[in-house]
A and B are shown apart, each in its own frame.
Chain A
Amino acid sequence: MATNEQTAIIELKHIDKHFGSLHVLKDINLTVHKGEVVVIIGPSGSGKSTLCRTINRLETIDSGEIVIDGDILPQEGKKLARLRSEVGMVFQSFNLFAHKTILDNVTIGPREVLGTPKKKAEEEAMALLKRVGVENQAKKVPAQLSGGQQQRVAIARSLAMHPKVMLFDEPTSALDPEMIGEVLDVMTELAREGMTMVIVTHEMNFARRVADRIIFMDEGRILEENEPEAFFSAPGTQRAKDFLNTLKERDR
């Protein structure tokens, strides 16, 4: 990782955003380097999901600048679509295309956006489905799969675009407990292979294990940024201490 540390893939500079009168992101500055796994944690309503979604402009921002691999993210249009295709996104609710087979869900991006020929796209898709362990489901439609399987397909669908970075917006929050592990395993594997990842999650053990850096957010601000061991053993702010204590209470 040390060799890549200088290449910034995502740069957020002075991001501000309001939802009506609510100030949801306050002067956010964050740089994510190539190969880095950044985990964003914080209480609900802290702005962590919103932050994740602004990175590929699913949420607009009021002011500030978002730079993806050296290109400033534009407001709208074809250039935005192109930049988005370089940023993979995995959602809490999977969001697979309900009318398409699993295989078509994974091939549609490469075929339509990248212009990959059908045969090549399908070969790549099958390899990805195998990698996430759902190759036997390729001919089914999303509703026939379990939540964990759907989320793994969603990861494969994003990977099929050969993204420079993957965003995960609470990828296990909608899953039954017994399915969380299978999705986290796929993500751990991805991290190990050197994928650049930004992950919003409540899975603290996973965060501790996989993250290179933990971002702690509260009330629209980044309060702490630290390596996982340092953060979890000695959080620097009272808010972070309270938050971690609440989680401990819950797990007890």
Chain B
Amino acid sequence: MTIQELLAQFGDKYLQALITTYQLTFISFFLATILGVIITVMRVSPIRPLQIAADFYVQIFRNIPGAALLILLVYALPYLNIVLPYFTAVLIATTLIPSSFCSEYLMSGMNTIGAGQIEAARSLGMTFMQMIRHVVMPQAIRSSVLPMTNLLVATMLTTALASQVPLNPTDLTGIVSYINTHAVGGITAFLISAVLYCGTAVIIGQIGNQIDRKVRILR
């Protein structure tokens, strides 16, 4: 089939798939960022058990393959009588993994803050949480815009995991299998999805660059 034929027949399906991919991407990224911040605060907290738990969390989710995590969520959790809707299962997988990377980026963002600023904050009498909120996190986040932009793209690509479970409407990768079981889309069906992924990634990259230029901290 040609691109025109595919778009004529499956155009609305592609649109729905794109929306599913966007939903998974942006919800996951939002949740991953919040989780990443919390995990990072735990990692730098003065409370040893919190540090250990958070380091363990990062090691686990940074190193587990997405497909393996999704299989655990979909096939293993039912043994514990937890049956998640497919969308939720995918969302959890595509949140937990990026959250560990988010924490790694924030940790390296923190390293750009001199020890002197931390000492200054302590000298003013700030508590640990005040220091995190007003001195450490704002600077760590502003120094991590570019890696976080990459993480958003990576999160989008990770949502292709959704093609492994029966989602309705399915995502941009799932739509390719759908088309190829209903018609002979061939490689062209892949091409359309690939263009949509790439186009989105380019736009995300541009926006990320602009945000970075705006919030970058003069040193």
* Residue in B114, B116, B125, B139 whose CB lies within 8 Å of A81: B125
- Does any Cβ of A come within 8 Å of B126's Cβ? yes
* Residue in B124, B127, B142, B219 whose CB lies within 8 Å of A157: B124
The smallest beta-carbon distance between B135 and chain A, in angstroms, is 6
- Does any Cβ of A come within 8 Å of B218's Cβ? yes
- Does any Cβ of B come within 8 Å of A146's Cβ? no
* Residue in B120, B125, B138 whose CB lies within 8 Å of A95: B120
Count how many chain B residues have C-beta atoms less than 8 Å from C-beta atoms of the other chain: 23
Complex alpha-carbon distance, A120 and B142, angstroms: 29
- Does any Cβ of A come within 8 Å of B117's Cβ? yes
The smallest beta-carbon distance between A56 and chain B, in angstroms, is 6
- Does any Cβ of B come within 8 Å of A89's Cβ? yes
- Does any Cβ of A come within 8 Å of B48's Cβ? no
Interface 1/0 per residue, A142-153 and B, CB below 8 Å? 111000000000
* Residue of B with least CB distance to A113: B125
Q: Of A58, A81, A86, which is in contact with the most chain B CB atoms at under 10 Å from its CB?
A: A81
Secondary structure at chain B's binding surface: helix, strand, loop or mixed? helix
- Does any Cβ of B come within 8 Å of A84's Cβ? yes
List B contacts of A113 (CB < 8 A): 124-126, 130
Complex alpha-carbon distance, A89 and B118, angstroms: 12
List CB contacts (< 8 Å) of A130-185 with chain B: 141-144, 154, 157-158, 161
Complex alpha-carbon distance, A109 and B117, angstroms: 13
List A contacts of B130 (CB < 8 A): 112-113
List B contacts of A161 (CB < 8 A): 124-125
- Does any Cβ of A come within 8 Å of B217's Cβ? yes
Complex alpha-carbon distance, A154 and B116, angstroms: 12
Contact A98 B120 (CB under 8 A): no
Contact B218 A84 (CB under 8 A): no
Residues A98 and B139 in contact in the complex (CB < 8 Å), given A108-B124, A141-B218 = yes
List B contacts of A32 (CB < 8 A): none
- Does any Cβ of B come within 8 Å of A23's Cβ? no
Residues A88 and B46 in contact in the complex (CB < 8 Å), given A98-B139, A98-B218 = no
List B contacts of A144 (CB < 8 A): 218
List A contacts of B63 (CB < 8 A): none
Interface 1/0 per residue, B118-137 and A, CB below 8 Å? 01111111110010001100
Complex alpha-carbon distance, A109 and B124, angstroms: 6
- Does any Cβ of B come within 8 Å of A188's Cβ? no
The smallest beta-carbon distance between B161 and chain A, in angstroms, is 36
Complex alpha-carbon distance, A88 and B120, angstroms: 9
Complex alpha-carbon distance, A136 and B124, angstroms: 24
List B contacts of A94 (CB < 8 A): 116
Contact A87 B218 (CB under 8 A): no
* Residue in A87, A98, A143 whose CB lies within 8 Å of B123: A87
Contact B125 A98 (CB under 8 A): no
List A contacts of B218 (CB < 8 A): 98, 141-144
List B contacts of A18 (CB < 8 A): none
List CB contacts (< 8 Å) of A99-132 with chain B: 99, 108-109, 112-113
The smallest beta-carbon distance between A103 and chain B, in angstroms, is 14
- Does any Cβ of B come within 8 Å of A251's Cβ? no
Contact A82 B125 (CB under 8 A): yes
Beyond known contacts A97-B117, A97-B134, A112-B130: 6 more, CB 8 A cutoff? A56-B123, A81-B122, A84-B123, A93-B114, A113-B126, A143-B219
7 shortest interchain CB distances as A-B pairs: A85-B125, A143-B218, A95-B116, A89-B123, A109-B124, A95-B120, A113-B125
